[in-house]
């Protein structure tokens, strides 16, 4: 059983219900999503061999402060940074450190900025200098996967249609989809209902309705889908140490499709592609 409520008319104490937002909520998400996208745009120039992920974290902390936003991850369940930086075989939730990025690394940077209480959650995969063809292919697969997932977002489709489109494509490329982390409702809460798995069966799950707002954030591995969490309690890595990639958008279901809130104003959502086009 699913229940939907109008987000601005009810105080929710419990989960199990899916908020539906009106144009006011969409406008707030547009603002938060665009600031997050701007933050990720800044990093396009900054991600270079030799830079540390702590330096990048600092840049985003300052950017948020200058723009009246709060990074949602600071103090989130004991997390202490403004961004997550997941390098190579790190699947997600990598913690910024003082270790420099190296030529050939691939790094996912995930940012959630809170603007007026609304959460814009997005991540991109940045190549560090020149990367291997194998890493390039993984990035291409991941960006094509999110695109195919987003194409399924329209009223009447099911949540399972999103995961099915992503999984089917990724596995057809002989890569795998992580099961342990999923997309999520987002808005005035960081992680809300519903869950959006990046795997599944067409025609199953909750029906998408106009006004739903959630993320799609597939994690794609070149090896097996299995992950483990390191002793720091956060860093998720592939069990087989294979390369892993991710990208993420926050979006809202519209009358006949969806609106992506976290599109890059500069067309830099896929930094690898943007880099190639600039050459």
Kindly list the residues in this chain that would bind ligand MF3 in the complex (CB under 6 A): 73, 76, 79, 84, 93, 110, 112, 121, 215, 217, 234, 248
Asked if residue 194 has a cis previous peptide bond (ω within 30° of 0), the answer is yes
**Smallest distance, Å, CB 244 to Co ion?**
15
Residues 162-221, interacting with Co ion (CB under 5 A) = 215
Residue 93 binding target from ligand MF3, Co ion, none, CB below 5 to 8 Å by type: ligand MF3
Please identify, using beta-carbon distances, which residue of 30 and 249 lies nearer to Co ion.
249
| Side-chain-facing half-sphere of 176: CA atoms under 13 Å | 16
Task: Calculate ∠ Cα 123-131-41, nearest 5°.
Answer: 30
Residues 6+ apart with CB under 8 A from 9: none
Structure token digits, residue 239: 């069990």
The item of Co ion, ligand MF3, none sharing an interface with residue 57, based on CB under 5 to 8 Å by kind, is none
Which of 93, 112, 107 is closest to 39 using CA atoms?
A: 112
Q: Nearer Cβ to ligand MF3, position 131 or 212? A: 212
Q: How far is the CB of 29 from ligand MF3 (least distance, A)?
A: 15
- Residue (121 or 193) nearer to Co ion, CB: 121
Q: If you ran DSSP here, which 8-state letter would residue 96 be given? A: P
Of residues 25 and 218, the one with the C-beta less far from ligand MF3: 218
Cβ count within 10 A of residue 72: 23
137 or 147: whose CB is closer to ligand MF3?
A: 147
Which of ligand MF3, Co ion, none binds 84 (CB below 5-8 Å, type-dependent)? ligand MF3
DSSP string for residues in 2-58 = -EEEETTT----SSSEEEE--HHHHHHHHHHHHHHHHHHHHHHHH--TT-BHHHHHH
Q: Is residue 110 close enough to count as binding Co ion by CB under 5 A?
A: yes
CA angle 127, 129, 131 (to 5 degrees): 65
Report the alpha-carbon distance of residue 205 to residue 92 in Å, rounded.
25
Residue span 119-138 as binding mask against Co ion, x where in contact by CB under 5 A, dash where not: --x-----------------
- 193's contact among ligand MF3, Co ion, none, with CB below 5 to 8 A by partner kind, is none
Residues 213-252 that bind Co ion (CB under 5 A): 215, 248
- What is the maximum span of the chain, computed from C-alpha positions, in angstroms? 52
Residue 44 binding result from Co ion, ligand MF3, none, given CB thresholds of 5 to 8 Å by partner type: none
79 binds, among Co ion, ligand MF3, none (CB under 5 to 8 A by kind): ligand MF3
57/110 with CB nearer Co ion = 110
The site for Co ion (CB under 5 A) is made up of: 110, 121, 215, 248
């Amino acid at each position: 059983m699913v229940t939907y409520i109008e987000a601005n008319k009810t105080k929710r104490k419990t989960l199990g219900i899916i908020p539906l937002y009106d144009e006011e909520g969409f406008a707030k998400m547009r603002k938060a999503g665009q600031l997050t996208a701007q933050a990720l745009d800044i990093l396009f120039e900054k991600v270079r061999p030799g830079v540390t992920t702590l330096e990048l974290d600092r840049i985003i902390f300052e950017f948020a402060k200058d723009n009246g936003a709060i990074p949602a991850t600071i103090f989130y369940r004991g997390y202490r940074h403004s961004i997550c930086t997941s390098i190579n075989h790190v699947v997600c939730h990598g913690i910024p450190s003082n270790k420099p990025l190296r030529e050939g690394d691939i790094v996912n940077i995930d940012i959630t900025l809170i603007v007026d209480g609304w959460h814009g959650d997005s991540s991109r995969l940045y190549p560090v200098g020149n990367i291997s063809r194998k890493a390039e292919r993984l990035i291409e697969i991941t960006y094509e996967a999110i695109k195919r997932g987003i194409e399924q977002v329209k009223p009447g489709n099911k949540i399972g249609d999103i995961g099915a489109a992503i999984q089917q494509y990724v596995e057809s490329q002989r890569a795998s989809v992580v099961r342990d982390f999923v997309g999520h409702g987002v808005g005035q809460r960081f992680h809300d209902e519903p869950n959006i798995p990046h795997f599944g069966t067409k025609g199953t799950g909750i029906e998408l309705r106009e006004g739903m707002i959630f993320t799609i954030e597939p994690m794609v591995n070149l090896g097996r889908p299995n992950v483990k969490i390191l002793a720091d309690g956060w860093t998720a890595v592939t069990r087989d140490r294979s390369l892993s990639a991710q990208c993420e958008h926050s979006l809202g279901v519209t009358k006949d499709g969806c609106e992506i809130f976290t599109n890059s104003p500069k067309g830099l959502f896929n930094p690898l592609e943007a880099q190639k086009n600039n050459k």
